[in-house]
A and B are shown apart, each in its own frame.
Chain A
Amino acid sequence: MSRPATELIRRGVARAGIRHELDADGWLALRDALAEEPELDFLGLWAEEGAVHAAFHGPDGVLLATLPVTGGAFPALSPARPAAAWFERAVADLWGRRAEGGTDGRPWLDHGRWAVTAPLSSRPAPNTSEPPQPVFLPATGPGVHQVPVGPIHAGVIEPGHFRFHVQGETVVRLEARLGYAHKGTLGLMRGKSPRAAARFAARISGDSTVAHSWAFAAAAEAALGVKPPPRALLLRGLMAELERIANHLNDWGALCGDAAFAWPQARCGVLREGLLRAQEAAFGHRLMMDRVVPGGVSIDIARSGPDRLRAALAGIGDGLPALRRITEEQASLQDRLSGTGVLRPELAARFAAGGFVGRASGRDFDARRNGAYPPYDSLAFEVPVLQAGDVEARLAIRVAELEQSLALAETLMARLEPGETLVAPPPEAMRAGEGVALVEGFRGDVLCWMALDEAGLIRACFSRDPSWLHWPLLEAAVEGNILADFPLCNKSFNASYSGVDL
């Protein structure tokens, strides 16, 4: 099979051992080559001072391409990879580098409310203009009207604005305008040691705190050339599986709740609360925030931890059959979930959708298996895949994964041997370097890239939540559904707002 884009990137000049640098012509050629190689998955695009980086997932894992950028613009990749559009808008907003020929030039993260423009560029300029009115993509036709929702929503969720164009009850076009939760996380990470900056990674998306911390830590460890101890890896795996279980339970309950079926929500809530309390007993924090750090884990599991966790997991295992039966057998619930918010497999593949979004639409990818990073390289588990792509399929994937994770958590606990849980960073002279990591969180693969300077401080870092690829797909999946089904569709994707707003 010919892989023109993969080969083109590999021919680039090797940088820092993990990137391939292309010149301007090479980057333009890459755009054409990408169109000829649709199977090369696009993971993300970001910038730093003097360069733009793009990440792909190729036959041998993560593949990074770099273009040195001195002027104010660089050739866009979005014509060949539509998922790149959101990234290109973020690069323009944060680093002030415009994607020439891009499919969408509108600002996104920058709402015109900061004191500066291009805050991550070397010379941020003072912002002197009034916040502009947002521009939405149009939809025209007889009787089409707009429904604006947010940034503050009726439920307890994060801020974001949804602009619906509807015709009667039917959604003609949905556009998500996010960026409200932009906290400047990437800027705060710069100039800090990985250990100090880990607390920002842990707060990119609170529900994925373990996954983001792990990806961040793994990137830092790759940059520093250190290996975390085996016990730390097992504990990371355990925490990641617990996080997956807690979130899948949450989504399961909330999906049924959004369909006005309260019983599963109540049951899932009880089981989840039991797990969160066991997590607090085991790791000292209900969400296990700040537990995964560069070099290992910051806290060993409490002596009583495994028993508490086993009791909570056993409770979940006992509760699953009834929950599953009732979810699957209630006609009124199935009526709402089945056939709603269909994401076509072609789109999921084109956007390299991860997690339950991709796997419910036929994309057989799981970083735990495809990347086979420890401890998953020695664990047996199944990756459920469905083709239907509707809300029901995304729920079914979660339920199947929940069962897998219960078994994985048990295995990981059984394998725990006494030992070190944290290694020290190498001597200062050896701290410069770059690393990249891909870790499977509950909603999909989390990518983190990090560059350290000679002092071992972060020169640049980018954490990509899977939601970057899921938000545009949600917009597509909602099309043609009734407006009243949007909460269901939205919950079934459960994309993170904070995770992309950074």
Chain B
Amino acid sequence: MSEPPENASQQDAAAKAPWPSLRQALSGLSWPPMLLPRLTCNLLRAPLTESGPPVPEVTVAALAERLEAASRARLGRSLAIRHVGSGSCNGCELEINALSGVVYDLERLGLRFVASPRHADVLLVTGPACRNMTEAVQRAWQCAPEPKWVVAVGDCAVDGGVFRDSYAVEGGVGQVLPVDLVIPGCPPMPGLMLEGLLALVEAQREDAEPQPGPLRNEPEF
């Protein structure tokens, strides 16, 4: 899976970021304090954060179908994400963490990581369904209030990946949880993950303007 061409050009731009040359140019001048060049740099340089990826309409349509209008109204244009490691090699975690950084900055898109499944709309599950994690993963899912999504991130979560034949693995995350969206890759590139999560946000928005919904029910737990 490759990122869209638009992103590729941005990547190049990021690789040769404008600020060192600008700084060098400014530092050549004989102004006394350091403040002015740095301030000018900060004011003039492009932001480090890139624009969000385009979202494939087919995915959005498929996801919207799975979500009732009521749920859409309730969730609005934001998603609280709870990461659940089901036994990955930690490669997926590295790329998920990159999403929180300045370059991808997922919070500006209405996405944020929360510390508990009780606050989550989305469970982002990485790794194969390790048998030692089955109970914990299912309990996390039970804790998350309705409506909720499960996103399987990475080849292992999709179908067990290279570990699918092991005695210690059930297979993909779909073996232990109802999966709504899969994001393949080993690990998936951050741009691809962002694309998938934005598709969820879009799916909620379709046809329904967000309305303040009733308070969520407490999970029966």
Q: Which residues of A contact B (CB under 8 A)?
A: 111, 113-116, 119, 124, 151-152, 154-159, 179-185, 187-188, 199-200, 203-207, 209, 250, 265-266, 269-270, 272-274, 276-278, 281, 286-287, 289, 308, 311-312, 314-315, 318, 496-498, 501
Contacts and interface: CB of A to CB of B under 8 A. Distances in A.
Interface stretch (B72-80, B93-101, B199-207, B213-221): B93-101
B102 A113 contact: no
A159 B86 contact: yes
Contact of A114 (B93, B116, B168): B168
B90 A205 contact: yes
Contacts of A184: 163, 166-169
B14 A277 contact: yes
A158 B88 contact: yes
18 contacts: A114-B168, A152-B117, A152-B137, A158-B85, A180-B132, A180-B133, A181-B127, A182-B87, A185-B166, A188-B163, A205-B89, A205-B90, A207-B90, A250-B94, A270-B48, A274-B15, A312-B15, A501-B87
A119 B83 CA distance: 30
Contacts of A266: 101-102
Contact of A154 (B11, B116, B131, B165): B116
Given A182-B130, A311-B15, A187 B93 contact: no
B191 to A, nearest CB: 10
A274 B20 CA distance: 14
Nearest to B127: A181
Contacts of A155: 83, 115
B166 A183 contact: yes
Contact of A269 (B17, B103, B163): B103
Interface in B31-83: 48, 83
B132 A111 contact: yes
A289 B94 CA distance: 13
Contacts of A274: 14-15, 17
A188 B85 contact: no
Contacts of A115: 167
Nearest to A265: B101
Given A181-B133, A183-B128, A188-B163, A206 B94 contact: yes
Nearest to B169: A183
Contacts of A273: 14, 98, 101, 103
Contacts of A312: 15
Contacts of A276: 98
Nearest to A286: B189
B108 interface: no
A313 to B, nearest CB: 11
B94 to A, nearest CB: 6
Contacts of A156: 83, 93, 96-97, 100, 113
A188 B128 CA distance: 14
B187 A151 contact: no
Contacts of B169: 183-184
A179 B132 contact: yes
Given A113-B134, A203-B162, A286-B189, 5 more contacts: A116-B167, A183-B87, A250-B94, A270-B103, A286-B187
B150 interface: no
B136 interface: yes
Contacts of B83: 155-156
A158 B132 contact: no
Contacts of A289: 91, 186
B87 A200 contact: no
Contact of B98 (A207, A269, A497): A269
B22 interface: no
Contacts of A498: 87-90
A179 B163 CA distance: 15
A156 B20 CA distance: 32
A158 B93 contact: yes
Given A269-B101, A312-B15, A315-B20, A287 B130 contact: no
Query: Which 8 residue pairs are nearest across A and B when measured between Cβ atoms?
Result: A206-B91, A269-B101, A184-B166, A154-B115, A184-B168, A181-B87, A206-B89, A203-B89
B162 to A, nearest CB: 5
B140 interface: yes
Nearest to A273: B103
Nearest to B96: A156
A501 B88 CA distance: 11
A401 B115 CA distance: 33
Contacts of A308: 15
A152 B11 contact: no
B12 to A, nearest CB: 9
Contacts of B48: 270
A314 B96 CA distance: 26
A156 B90 CA distance: 10
Nearest to B50: A273
Contacts of A207: 90-91, 94
A113 B85 contact: no
Contacts of B130: 180-183
A112 B134 CA distance: 12
Interface in B121-176: 127-128, 130-137, 140, 162-163, 165-169
A65 B169 CA distance: 32
Contacts of A287: 91, 94, 187
Contacts of A270: 48, 101-103
B92 interface: yes
Contacts of B101: 265-266, 269-270, 272-273
Contacts of B135: 113
A182 B163 CA distance: 10
A269 B102 contact: yes
A180 B134 CA distance: 9
B90 A315 contact: no
Contact of B140 (A152, A183, A272): A152
Nearest to B99: A156
Contacts of B86: 159
Contacts of B89: 203-206, 209, 498
Residue among A180, A250, A501 with the most chain B CB within 10 A? A180
A207 to B, nearest CB: 6
Nearest to A113: B131
